Structure 1
Amino acid sequence: MKKIAVVTGASSGIGYQTALDFAAQGYTVVGGARHLKNADELVKAGVVFHPLDVTDHDSVQDFVQFIKSTYGRVDVLVNAAGYGSFGALEEVPLDEARRQLDVNLFGIVDLIQQVTPIMRTQHSGRIINISSLAGQSYSALAGWYYISKHALETMSDVLRLELKPFGIDVVIVEPGITKTNWANVTNEQMLKVTPKTSPYRKAAEKQASMITQATQTVAQVASVIAKAATADKPKIRYQVTRQDKIAMKGARLMPYKVLDKVAERMLKV
């Protein structure tokens, strides 16, 4: 019997490549996303596409009910849906902050709450949450994004302990800046909430130039996700490049004042 892999955010970027790779590796893949972009390509590759808005509880229920009634099981859940909301904490509207947490945290938790009973019945399953290097670090002008990823990682750590007795693994994957449209969407939003008269504008423009400098491809990230999905004893956290692994080890060891200096230097204008 083919294993069932569920991938959110499957219409673009990391989720799209992951869905294609899992299908090529012999999984039955259900890809969920709000947008129909690339749906035809997914279907041609053998991916079953189903609409999903992780911020809509009814949509999440419908998505999981479709999987449950069609396949009756879930072996791997990859939560790749998400976006970056950048800007100074002083200036980002709280409605936008709530939306960032809805997409990057609460929507994921909603889906997990619906899928977990299926995995518990099987006494098996693997949940892979796509975080970021931001999940273990911090920087100015990206507050709500960093907050969402720190919260996602803490949630994942707690969930791992709670689900271990039921044979379910919880894994975190932390990509760096990846070559997708993510940076363009993030920059558009950041410069929108940071007017040219803002005291943060020059630093925001520097931030915008930095996050377009990708250090990895979606193929590299999807390869690490596949490794996390198939390892007999998966790691708790995966980074993609050697440089990222060193950076995360350093972030855990450095004093906070040193981390502050590093972060300040990055956006100094």
Structure 2
Amino acid sequence: MTKVAIITGISSGMGKASALYFKSKGFEVYGGARRVERLKDLNEQAIHTQALDVTDKISVRSLVDRVVSEQSRIDVLINNAGYGEYGPLEEVPIENAKKQFDVNLFGVGQITQYVLPIMRRQKSGRIINISSIGADVYSPLGGWYHATKASLNMWSDVLDSEVKRFGIRSVVVQPGITKSEWSKIAFENARKNLKENSPYEELINKVENLFNQIGSGATSEDLAKIFYQAATDKNPKRRYYNSVMDHGMVLIAKKMPNTYRKVLTRLIK
């Protein structure tokens, strides 16, 4: 029996790499993104694509209904769509913060609500929630982003406690900094969110320089393999990390918060 996966946010980065990797492993892959012009090459690889806005109920319902109509089952849902609404908390417009939650958390909840009845009927399924080490590790300017990812982790854990009895599991993947467009977009948003003559402009430069010094770690293809592991492990873990370093940073931030704060302060003085 061919397994079926839905992946959100497949126009680039981890989402695109995952769509290709799951297809190479024999899955029927469905997914979408707002930037439909970027989906053509995925169509050519026999991946089923369509326009998808995770904050639009009609758009989400259309994708799920199509999968059920054509495949009659959904084995894996990868909630990958997301972005970083960076900027100083004093200045990020609240409507932008709400949009961050709409995409990174409530959009996840919406598509999951549509998928769960199908998985319960099957008595099996895996929900993979793409969070970030930024759910535990933080930096200035990322307040709203970090809040969405911390919320996603808790939401996933609660969901897992509710649906495990039906043969469904909900797990979290926490990537670190990756070789993608994510940081570029996050700092573009940070500058857009600055007010005129903002006292935080220098801070944005310092934090962006810090990110550049840290450099990029995993490739999208590396993360696709972690997504696949999370989707196919017989006994799934609560959290998946790409590297020991990513996991270590989370442990330090959680177990030694004062030390983490001191190091962070020193790095951005």
TM-score relative to the length of structure 2: 0.95
The answer for the alignment partner of 1:128 in structure 2 is 128
Deviations 1:223-245 (A, max 9, x none): 11111111111111011112112
Separation (CA, whole Å) in 2 of partners of 1:180 and 1:24: 22
The one-letter code matched in structure 1 to 2:260 is L
The answer for the alignment partner of 1:237 in structure 2 is 239
Separation (CA, whole Å) in 1 of partners of 2:109 and 2:72: 21
Deviates more, 1:106-115 or 1:194-203: 194-203
SS, match of residue 85 in structure 1? coil
Alpha-carbon offset, residue 68 of structure 1: 1.3
Alpha-carbon offset, residue 262 of structure 1: 2.6
SS, match of residue 37 in structure 2? coil
Alpha-carbon offset, residue 21 of structure 1: 0.3
Deviations 1:146-167 (A, max 9, x none): 0010111110010010011000
The one-letter code matched in structure 2 to 1:136 is D
Alpha-carbon offset, residue 37 of structure 1: 3.4
Separation (CA, whole Å) in 2 of partners of 1:113 and 1:177: 29
The answer for the alignment partner of 2:156 in structure 1 is 156
Alpha-carbon offset, residue 39 of structure 1: 1.2
Deviations 1:188-223 (A, max 9, x none): 110122257222111111222333421221111111
Separation (CA, whole Å) in 2 of partners of 1:247 and 1:8: 27
Task: Tell whether 2:221 aligns with 1:219.
Answer: yes
The answer for the alignment partner of 2:258 in structure 1 is 257
Separation (CA, whole Å) in 1 of partners of 2:189 and 2:108: 22
Task: Tell whether 2:235 aligns with 1:267.
Answer: no
Alpha-carbon offset, residue 119 of structure 1: 0.4
Deviates more, 1:22-31 or 1:240-249: 240-249
Alignment of 1:184-223 (within 5 A): 184-195=184-195, 197-212=197-212, 213-223=215-225
The answer for the alignment partner of 1:62 in structure 2 is 62
- Answer whether contact 1:195 1:201 (CA < 8 A) is retained: no
* Unmatched runs of 5 consecutive residues or more in structure 1: none
The one-letter code matched in structure 2 to 1:221 is L
Deviations 1:158-186 (A, max 9, x none): 00100110000111000011111111111
Task: Tell whether 2:187 aligns with 1:183.
Answer: no
The one-letter code matched in structure 1 to 2:134 is A
The one-letter code matched in structure 1 to 2:164 is K
The one-letter code matched in structure 2 to 1:7 is I
Alignment of 1:1-150 (within 5 A): 1-150=1-150
- Answer whether contact 1:140 1:263 (CA < 8 A) is retained: no
Separation (CA, whole Å) in 2 of partners of 1:266 and 1:19: 37
Separation (CA, whole Å) in 2 of partners of 1:98 and 1:168: 29
The one-letter code matched in structure 2 to 1:245 is H
Separation (CA, whole Å) in 2 of partners of 1:260 and 1:252: 11
- Answer whether contact 1:176 1:216 (CA < 8 A) is retained: yes
SS, match of residue 37 in structure 1? helix
The one-letter code matched in structure 2 to 1:262 is V
Alpha-carbon offset, residue 86 of structure 1: 0.7
Separation (CA, whole Å) in 2 of partners of 1:167 and 1:85: 35
Deviations 1:58-80 (A, max 9, x none): 11111111111111111011111
- Answer whether contact 1:194 1:204 (CA < 8 A) is retained: no
Separation (CA, whole Å) in 1 of partners of 2:2 and 2:40: 22
Separation (CA, whole Å) in 2 of partners of 1:189 and 1:148: 16
Separation (CA, whole Å) in 1 of partners of 2:90 and 2:196: 15
- Answer whether contact 2:36 2:50 (CA < 8 A) is retained: no
SS, match of residue 128 in structure 1? strand
